[in-house]
Structure 1
Amino acid sequence: MDMDGGRRVFNRLGPSSSTDNTNKQQKVCFHWRQGKCTRYPCPFLHSELPTAANGKRPHQGFGAEDNYRAGGGLRRSGNYNFSNNNTWGRVQPQQPVNNRTVVKRIEKLCNHWVQGSCKFGDNCKYLHQWSTGDCFSLLAPLDGHQQVVTGITLPMGSDKLYTGSQDETVRVWDCQSGQLVGVVNVGGAVGCMLSEGPWVFVGLANLVKAWNIQTSAELSLNGPVGQVYSLVVGSDLLFAGTQEGAILAWKFNVAANCFEPAASLKGHTLAVVTLVVGGNRMYSGSMDQSIRVWSLETLQCIQTLSSHTDVVMSVLCWDQFLLSASLDKTVKVWAATESGNLEVTYTHTEEHGLLTLCGMHDSEAKPVLFCSLNDNSIRVYDLPSFTERGKIYSKKEVRSIQIGPGGLFFTGDGSGQVRVWKWSAEPSTALS
């Protein structure tokens, strides 16, 4: 072993050259032996030869010497290491850019970085950031919930953000400071949330709670059987999708200041997990793998859509189209035929099951679609091309996405964290 400039390098056995460059090439990189050399190309060797007991290079047979020269069977290059216990494979080869080197990263969140313990730092081949793309940025995390966030709502005209979780609480956040201003224990896991006018609705097991944020009135809407998974307002009615498959409807009685039962829509055989209203129709997605189309005038089912092969997790109205997302890894785009029935006109396929859809228009009035996947990511697409604009990553799967004013949007994931994001260009209205 020699000392070279205060650093240890290991001589490779074999003939040496008088040139400095050749001398370097005959030495094994000390940093490589520690598994952390990041230079490309490295002037030292990233391989070693076996040595005999007397310290001399063993006889290797005819042609063995040529195999270690340029053009031989084994390339002598800093990129190659044939040791079985090396750590070089953890860092991808670096590509020189303007006399600098950068690590080509895999678009996957580094789990060690999330936990604050990645030892590779800037040389890690996985992402050390919560998003890709340049159209949005993370403003702040809102910590406090202990379980999956299942509802986020921002009442019109309010400066408070409401978030609900399976930890049986609703948290209230000040939109100006981002500080927590209240925690309400609702006595059960929150399945969904919705705001309409001065009212905030919370879907619970066998119950929907309604709070009037202007008068502080609190009402309980009874009737559901099992967990309430989805809420929507249409035609002056509040609809709730329930665990048993029924969709219950209430109408607000102004004189009595209460919500009165109006109807029970039956047809689904399993839980109704998503509802959306578009025009004079309501669309419901269910664990029974179907979507039902309901007339808001008659409250009757007028069509059943059965193209999905797994749970329909989310439905969304966009222009004249209906979009549906499923655990079958597809987003389907539905359009009306001349007869008025909906048919699939396009199917977008992902590598993982989909959990929720959310849409908005950007500053140029172009529609943008958020697709939350069960691989803990959100894909952001332009419509109708499905051209990707970026990705958002979370510690766990994102169950809730809510659009806010001024380019803000909010996400809530399975770890209980709510995040506040902002578009680089201010968007306009949200999609239905």
Structure 2
Amino acid sequence: MDIDGSKRIFRRLGPSQGDNGSSKQQQKVCFHWRAGRCDRFPCPFLHRELAAPPPQAQGSLTNGTASSKRSHGYSDDYRGGPRRNTNFNNNWGRTPAHGGGNNARAVTKTEKICAYWLQGSCKFGDSCRFLHSWTTGNCFSLLTTLEGHQKVVSGIALPSGSDKLYSGSSDKTVRVWDCQSGQCAGAVNLNGEVGCMLSEGPWIFVGLTNLVKAWNAQTAADLNLTGPVGQVYSLVVGNDMLFAGTKDGILAWKFNVATNCFEPAASLKGHSHHVVSLVVGANRLYSGSMDNTIRVWSLETLQCLQILTDHTSVVMSFLCWDQFLLSCSLDKTVKVWVANESGNLEVTYTHQEEHGVLALCGMHDAEAKPVLLCSCNDNTVRVYDLPSFSERGKIFSKEAIRCIEIGPGGLFFTGDESGQVRVWKWLAETTTAAA
């Protein structure tokens, strides 16, 4: 009786594994069984629900069983956003966070460097949705990285007539790099952190704490310019004078050919906080400060002509381009200034960034078109066409890039907070198109 009962139950569950399922009726579920009143034996219809769809169509975990967490949106919670397809195998755990699995569709790149690519261990290649490059835009290429500094690279200089590149850092050293081999040719240990560097002709100027050091790359002359108070963060040359931004304002020196030294020339007062940026253009000296203002000075009289108060945070950098003055600030803006009929500067355009702006650099690309390099404190440099501000591409870095310097032949250099100096080269449009 028990055996007969077992057979009855088994047969009502449907065909055995040995059954080839030739009867189409056996693929239907018994209507009366569903209603709980089937009394036929043997019943030609199934006394069970149809098998669930394959895992690929339903969505499953790796063992092929339906996930009880799906109705609670756990896949969305885990990824921090909506699922990109219905296959849990491609959206759960490590795979989607690092490349999207074996999806055949085009991968939408996320503007973030792939951590596995940095380690040389990414297995997803072109299908990885993170970047396997330090740039976007394909308009320039990374030639080499110069390693050696232990802290922020705060200045880069290329004196004329020299085959050496100089870089200064807050690690209290200036490193000398051979431009042919890319190797470090020497390091100069200083008594203070390097706040900035400037090259003018054969001279290299280094801003230190309470001091500006001057070296001549041709004659090996080594001079100390005293007078600054606090760290010197900015240096510029104009009207045969060297200007340094200090805690107390701006100091100026003039070179005396007869004595072969720099002599104090003037002290420009007015800023209420540290002067961190300087630029010269149109017979004017422009200074930016931690007091959030820009002061315009006459290079002839060294008198303040105008005070600009449009920025709401530290004025970090300047660029003189054509008849315009560009300024950037930690207030996340780049402002474009132009002189009105009375000769005073006023803002004609404000470009908004998502993060504070650290440095500006203007140069021409391989096709002689003017471009703006705009370093932000999210570890990127945005590259824009001028005057449209249309984005050409981005440069990514491990840490924020604090200085950008132009070199010969389409080269430019960046120094970041990790201590790296990188050498870049603009690509011609024909090369970019072919790539």
Could you tell me the TM-score, scaled by structure 2's length? 0.79
For 2:317 and 2:361, the matched residues in 1 are separated by 9
Native 8 Å contact 1:289 1:310 kept in 2: yes
Residue 70 of structure 1 corresponds to which residue in structure 2? none
Identify if the C-alpha distance between structure 1 residues 403 and 26 changes in structure 2 by more than 3 Å, giving closer, same or farther: closer
Cα distance between partner residues in 1 of 2:340 and 2:67: 72
**One-letter identity of the residue aligned with 2:266:** A
**Structure 2 residue aligned with 1:149:** 153
Distance 1:366 1:342 in 2: 26
Q: Distance in 2 between matches of 1:206 and 1:14?
A: 86
CA distance, structure 1, for counterparts of residue 210 and residue 333 of structure 2: 31
Tell me the percent identity: 68
Question: Which residue type is aligned with residue 188 of structure 2?
Answer: V
What's the secondary structure of 2:88's corresponding residue? coil
Deviation at 1:90, TM superposition (A): 1.8
What is the aligned partner in structure 2 of residue 305 from structure 1?
308
> In the aligned structure 2, how far is the partner of 1:282 from the partner of 1:261?
17
Relative to structure 1, is the Cα distance of residues 26 and 413 closer, same or farther in structure 2, using a 3 angstrom cutoff? closer
Contact 1:194-1:202 at 8 Å conserved across structures: yes
How far residue 149 of structure 1 moved from its aligned partner, in angstroms, is 0.2
Which position in structure 2 is the counterpart of 1:48? 66
Residue 90 of structure 1 is aligned with which of 92, 97, 103?
A: 97
> 2:250: which partner in 1?
247
Q: Which moved more, 1:341-350 or 1:362-371?
A: 362-371
Structure with greater Cα Rg? 2
Q: Matches of 2:184 and 2:392 in 1, distance apart? A: 32
> Displacement, 1:92?
6.4
Distance verdict in 2 for CA 1:123–1:338, change over 3 Å: same
What corresponds to 1:294 in structure 2?
A: 297
1:67-112 alpha-carbon deviations (Å, 9 max, x no partner): xxxxxxxxxx96343999744652565897xxx6542211122345
1:423 and 2:426 matched: yes
Please name the residue that 2:319 is paired with.
316
1:347 to 2:350 alignment: yes
| Structure 1 gap segments, 5+ residues each | 1-12, 35-44, 51-76, 427-432
Partner of 1:373: 376
Which amino acid in the other structure matches residue 33 of structure 1?
Answer: T
1:276, 1:363 → 2: CA distance?
Answer: 25
Match of 1:110 among 107, 114, 118: 114
- Between structures 1 and 2, the one with greater helix share: 2
What one-letter code is carried by the residue in structure 2 that aligns with 1:251?
K
Q: Which runs of 5+ in 2 are unaligned?
A: 1-47, 69-83, 430-435
Cα separation, partners in 2 of 1:15 and 1:382, compared to 1, 3 Å: same
2:292 corresponds to 1:263: no
Letter in 1 for 2:371: V
The aligned amino acid for 1:329 is: K
1:292-333 alpha-carbon deviations (Å, 9 max, x no partner)? 000000001100110000000001100000000000000000
For residue 81 of structure 1, what is the aligned residue in structure 2? 88
Q: Distance in 1 between matches of 2:366 and 2:120?
A: 36
Change (3 A) 1:84 1:90: closer
User: Residue 59 of structure 2 contacts residue 88 of structure 2 at CA under 8 Å; is this kept in 1?
Assistant: no
Code of the aligned partner of 2:66: E
SS at match of 1:338: coil
Count matched residues: 369
Contact 1:289 1:309 in 2 (8 A): yes
Which digits, 9 at most, give the CA deviation of each residue in 1:266-299, with x for residues without a partner? 1111111110000210101111100000000000
**Superposed displacement of residue 339, structure 1:** 0.4
The answer to whether the Cα contact below 8 Å between 2:172 and 2:190 also exists between their aligned partners in 1 is yes
Equivalent residue for 1:33, pick from 37, 62, 66: 62
- 3-state DSSP class of the match of 1:48? coil
Deviation of residue 16 (structure 1)? 5.1
For residues 397 and 78 of structure 1, the distance between their equivalents in structure 2, rounded to whole angstroms, comes to 35
Deviations 1:162-219 (A, max 9, x none): 0000000000111111111111112210000001111100000000000011111100
Per the TM alignment, residue 229 of structure 1 is displaced from its structure 2 partner at its CA by: 0.4
Query: What secondary structure sits across from 1:203 in the alignment?
Result: strand
Match for residue 189 of structure 1? 193
Counterparts of 2:417 and 2:217, CA distance in 1: 27
What's the offset of the Cα at 1:406? 0.6
Aligned position for 1:335 = 338
Q: RMSD of the TM alignment (CA)?
A: 2.9
Quick check: 2:90–2:101 contact (8 Å CA) kept in 1?
no
Amino acid at match of 1:277: V
The 1:372/1:404 distance shift into structure 2, 3 A limit, reads same
Pair 1:14–1:355, CA change in 2 (3 A): farther
- CA positional deviation for 1:128: 2.3
**TM-score in terms of structure 1 length:** 0.79
Counterpart code for 1:159: D
